Amino acid sequence: MNMTKEVIKREIPAGKNPITLAATVLYLSSIKIDNRVSQIDIAKPAGITEVTYRNRIKELKVSFDSMII
Protein backbone atom coordinates (compact mmCIF):
# COMPACT_ATOMS: atom_id res chain seq x y z
CA MET A 1 0.00 0.00 0.00
CA ASN A 2 1.18 3.50 -0.78
CA MET A 3 0.34 5.35 2.43
CA THR A 4 0.94 8.80 0.93
CA LYS A 5 -1.54 8.17 -1.89
CA GLU A 6 -4.10 6.86 0.60
CA VAL A 7 -3.67 9.93 2.83
CA ILE A 8 -4.39 12.18 -0.16
CA LYS A 9 -7.24 9.98 -1.44
CA ARG A 10 -8.96 10.09 1.94
CA GLU A 11 -8.45 13.87 2.04
CA ILE A 12 -6.68 13.64 5.39
CA PRO A 13 -4.31 16.51 4.53
CA ALA A 14 -7.11 19.06 4.32
CA GLY A 15 -5.93 21.94 6.50
CA LYS A 16 -2.83 20.10 7.70
CA ASN A 17 0.81 21.06 7.26
CA PRO A 18 2.13 18.90 4.39
CA ILE A 19 5.56 18.63 6.04
CA THR A 20 3.98 17.26 9.20
CA LEU A 21 2.01 14.71 7.21
CA ALA A 22 5.09 13.68 5.23
CA ALA A 23 7.11 13.23 8.43
CA THR A 24 4.29 11.21 9.98
CA VAL A 25 4.00 8.94 6.95
CA LEU A 26 7.77 8.47 7.01
CA TYR A 27 7.70 7.47 10.67
CA LEU A 28 4.76 5.08 10.31
CA SER A 29 6.33 3.55 7.20
CA SER A 30 9.54 2.93 9.13
CA ILE A 31 7.53 1.03 11.72
CA LYS A 32 5.73 -0.98 9.07
CA ILE A 33 9.01 -2.18 7.53
CA ASP A 34 10.49 -2.82 10.99
CA ASN A 35 13.17 -0.16 10.61
CA ARG A 36 12.12 2.13 13.44
CA VAL A 37 13.40 5.67 13.55
CA SER A 38 12.80 7.77 16.65
CA GLN A 39 10.08 10.42 16.49
CA ILE A 40 12.54 13.16 17.41
CA ASP A 41 14.91 12.09 14.62
CA ILE A 42 12.14 12.82 12.11
CA ALA A 43 10.37 15.74 13.84
CA LYS A 44 13.45 17.88 14.47
CA PRO A 45 14.74 18.07 10.85
CA ALA A 46 11.17 18.59 9.63
CA GLY A 47 10.93 21.64 11.89
CA ILE A 48 7.81 20.47 13.68
CA THR A 49 7.03 20.02 17.34
CA GLU A 50 6.75 16.56 18.82
CA VAL A 51 3.23 17.35 20.03
CA THR A 52 2.02 18.23 16.53
CA TYR A 53 3.77 15.18 15.18
CA ARG A 54 2.17 12.86 17.73
CA ASN A 55 -1.27 14.32 16.98
CA ARG A 56 -0.84 13.51 13.27
CA ILE A 57 0.32 10.01 14.19
CA LYS A 58 -2.85 9.48 16.23
CA GLU A 59 -5.01 10.75 13.35
CA LEU A 60 -3.35 8.49 10.81
CA LYS A 61 -3.47 5.46 13.10
CA VAL A 62 -7.23 5.93 13.43
CA SER A 63 -7.65 6.35 9.68
CA PHE A 64 -5.43 3.38 8.82
CA ASP A 65 -5.87 1.16 11.86
CA SER A 66 -6.01 -2.01 9.81
CA MET A 67 -2.93 -1.11 7.79
CA ILE A 68 -0.60 0.43 10.37
CA ILE A 69 1.07 -1.30 13.29
3-state helix, strand, coil in the chain (%, to 5): 65, 0, 35
- 5 domain residue, yes or no: no
Name residues whose C-beta falls within 8 Å of residue 53's C-beta, 6 or more positions apart in sequence: 20, 23, 24, 27, 39, 42, 43, 46
pTM for the whole structure: 0.70
Instruction: Determine the Cα–Cα distance for residues 20 and 66; give it in Å rounded to an integer.
Output: 22
Residue 47 has pLDDT above 60, yes or no: yes
pLDDT digits (tens, 9 = 90+) for 18-39: 888 888 888 888 888 888 888 8
Report the pLDDT value the prediction gives residue 69, as an integer from 0 to 100: 46
| Number of independent structural domains in the chain | 1
Say which CATH number the domain at 19 has. 1.10.472.10
Averaged confidence pLDDT in the chain: 78
Range of the domain at 20: 14-63
> Does residue 21 form part of some domain?
yes
Q: Residue 8 domain-assigned?
A: no
